[in-house]
Structure formats: C-alpha cells, structure tokens
Structure 1
C-alpha cells in the first residue's frame, strides 16, 4: 500500500501560485445592445451564473490572481456554453488553453498551437512546421525542407525533400532522386 503524504505548510507556501479567485459576469453590450469598448464586470452575489448563448453579449469569467506578480500573471477563466477558455497575457510559455467536448488546445506565446484530441491524437502547428501524432501512434511531420512519416509500429519510415525520397519499408530500403 502506498502512503499518501500531504505537504507541510512550508512546502505549500513554496509552491503557491494563486492567491484568490473572483467570479464576474462580463456584459459586452449596454442595455441598448450597443457594444461597449470595455465590458462591464459585475460580481454575482451568490457566485453563480448562467452561461449566455452569445458570448459577444455576456460571459461568465473567473479572474484568478497570482500569488507572485513578479513570476507569474493573473489568469482569466472564461466559461462559454461550448468550451472553457483559460488565458493570460504571458510573454513566454502558454497564453491560452481551450477545453471543449473533443479536445484541449494550447496557444503558446510564439503562436504555436498544440491540440490534443479526444482520440489521443496530437497536432502541433507553428510558423515553421507541423507535426501530427495520430491516435494509432503514426507520426507525420512537415517542414519547409522535408516531409517525414513513421508508422505506429516503427517499421516503415519515409522522408521526402524537394529532390529526394527515402523510405524504409517491409520490402527494404529505398533512396532515390524524385521525379519532377
């Protein structure tokens, strides 16, 4: 049997990232249905909110304050009827996470997008390249210089460049110039 230990007060203080959370309703339009420049934030008295169908009109938001403003940023958790969005204004690491019924998607500060889908597949897209790990474990990679693939069992691999194709298959190894 594994013994579960709880951290001491000193250990908990060292790891503390967040200090408080406050729920708000963000009204993006005024009573005359005109879009506001900045949403009007209202803290519901009972801490409960219905999720509006039109997020351009109204959103439920939880603002989580950082415990260390020098080392981290506050986070906003936006509760939409079809997904949950966690965002922050970070110069490095992640800037946003969206969770919906099918996937978890992360936006990094360099605009790289990482998507983990319901079937276990992963897609990573950046300005320079794209990588897919399929649900069966197959891997596909596209860069400006080459396109590569490996099957889920690792037996077959291929690489294509503008002028060459190389592959390892059940039948052997191929490496030749590409026909144009």
Structure 2
C-alpha cells in the first residue's frame, strides 16, 4: 500500500475555510462579499447563500489557480467548482444524487444507482435494473437489463428484437 501512496502524484496542496458576507454590519448590500477565514475553522451554513456563504478553497499542488477547487456548502447541497477546462469543472452533491459536469456533459448518479448522461444533443439513461435507453434528435433506442429485448424508433421506422422474434416496420 505504501508503494501505491508514494507513487501517486500530489494533486492538492492546501485547504482553507472561508465565510463570505454579502451585507455589511448595517445590513447594506456589498458590491463584493467580505471574505473572512474563521479562526476556529468552523462555520454555520446560512439558509440564504446570497446573504452569507461558507466555502472551502482547495489549492492545486501545481500552483495553477484554474485547477483550484471551491467547495460551496449549502443547506441542501454541496457544490464543487473549478475553472479547469481539461477535466471536470463542477460537482453537485444533494441528498439523493451526485452530478458531475465535464466538457459540456452532465452525468448524474441517483440514489437508486441509475445514471443519466446528458449533452446538448443526446441523453442516455442506465436504469437501476441495468436497462439502457438513449435518445438523440434522430432516434430512440433501448435494451433490456437482461439484453434480450432491443428496440429502436426513428421518425420513419420502428424496429425491435426480442425473444419472440424480429419486427421492423415503417411508420
């Protein structure tokens, strides 16, 4: 195990908790939030992040600020974001799912194990039972969890393969 740990490349250098105050002590809105690192490294999570927010900045070991990660802490979710274009740039963690944004693609893993992959032109679902559905602007296709049934629909045809045979029909 120690060989594996020693061979891994260091990715992160440091982490710092901050609180961002969007209003001054008199209640007036600030143009930019006042960012303060709490001395005891503890912060409550405010119910309105436009008023006050708690977040952690994790610095890249490479020293590249594009690779730094900001972890925003909310009452209903945790958001990780960074400006690094060559890898993931967002992660959303809620009570029942985890979503990752990578290169214009969103991948969501739900609490039941189902996965949804969405881009601007297509969506693919892997259901909790293992069945797969895909929808593009040209076609919809599906395969059952056991691999026995396959189906495809386009604007001008329907085709299916199942245990009882093959069907292909113009619409």
- 2:2 pairs with 1:6: yes
Report the counterpart of residue 162 of structure 2 in structure 1: 169
Gaps of 5+ in 2: none
Cα contact 2:66–2:83 (8 A) shared by 1? no
Using the TM superposition, give the Cα deviation of residue 168 of structure 1 relative to its aligned residue in structure 2, in angstroms. Answer: 0.6
Matches within 5 A, 1:20-99: 20-70=14-64, 73-99=67-93
Cα contact 1:85–1:96 (8 A) shared by 2? yes
Q: 1:161 to 1:47 in 2, by over 3 A?
A: same
Using the TM superposition, give the Cα deviation of residue 113 of structure 1 relative to its aligned residue in structure 2, in angstroms. Answer: 1.1
Q: 1:8 to 1:120 in 2, by over 3 A?
A: closer
CA distance in 2, matches of 1:133, 1:176: 26
Gaps of 5+ in 1: none
Return 23-32 or 126-135, whichever deviates more: 23-32
Q: 1:34 to 1:148 in 2, by over 3 A?
A: farther
Write out the 4+ residue segments of structure 1 that deviate beyond 2 Å after TM superposition.
7-12, 28-38, 69-72
TM-score normalised to structure 1 length = 0.88
- What RMSD over aligned residues (CA atoms) do the two structures have, in Å? 1.9
- Aligned match for 1:146, one of 129, 139, 142: 139
Q: 1:10 to 1:106 in 2, by over 3 A?
A: closer
Q: 1:10 to 1:57 in 2, by over 3 A?
A: same
